[in-house]
Amino acid sequence: MINKRNDVKLERIQKRRDAGTVVKRFPGVAEIVINMTYNQKGIRPIIRTFNFSPNSYAFFRIDCLSKECVDGGFDLTRVITTMIRNRSVVEKGALNCEGNDPSGDSSDIVYEVTIQYMK
Ligand SMILES: [Zn+2]
């Protein structure tokens, strides 16, 4: 279990590097902000904010916060790519965790993505 978790972690770091930077992938984007509320059965909702500058890695997959959930997460890549293509400024939605939590507690997020474009 520990080893699998480390493998997944290393794989994530590699994927983040492979994603390239925001300025390279999406020139013209000044800032991306992800506000999310993480919901999981039995715990209080957790609010998180992620900021991406042009020099950040263009990797928009957020890990699941459940300790038991190894390969779970929330992938906002499609949401953000579509927003940039349409020059959208704000987008709201919800996503379920992609992983299979052995404890059976599925989790989800409610997100709000805000993108600022360069003039
Ligand atoms: Zn999960």
- What is the structure's pLDDT at 20? 93
Instruction: Tell me the CA–centroid distance for residue 24 and ligand 1, in Å.
Output: 30
- What is the structure's pLDDT at 66? 86
- What is the structure's pLDDT at 2? 58
The phi and psi torsions of 3 (rounded to 5 degrees) equal -65, -40
Alpha-carbon gap, residue 25 to 22, rounded angstroms: 5
Instruction: Tell me the CA–centroid distance for residue 102 and ligand 1, in Å.
Output: 9
Instruction: Tell me the CA–centroid distance for residue 65 and ligand 1, in Å.
Output: 7
Helices (H), 60-103: 77-86
Instruction: Tell me the CA–centroid distance for residue 72 and ligand 1, in Å.
Output: 4
Instruction: Tell me the CA–centroid distance for residue 117 and ligand 1, in Å.
Output: 32
Alpha-carbon gap, residue 118 to 29, rounded angstroms: 6
- What is the structure's pLDDT at 70? 78
Alpha-carbon gap, residue 60 to 62, rounded angstroms: 6
- What is the structure's pLDDT at 100? 75
Return residues with CB closer than 5 A to ligand 1 (ion).
64, 66, 69, 72, 97, 99, 101, 107
User: Which residues are within 8 A (CB) of 94 and not within 5 positions of it... i.e. 6 or more apart?
Assistant: 108, 109, 110, 111
Q: Which long-range contacts (CB under 8 A, 24 or more apart) does 40-46 make?
A: 40/65, 40/66, 40/105, 40/106, 40/107, 41/105, 41/106, 41/107, 42/105
Whole-model pTM: value is 0.86
- What is the structure's pLDDT at 92? 98
> Which segments in the chain show pLDDT lower than 50?
none
Instruction: Tell me the CA–centroid distance for residue 51 and ligand 1, in Å.
Output: 22
Ordered by start, the domain boundaries in the chain are 2-117
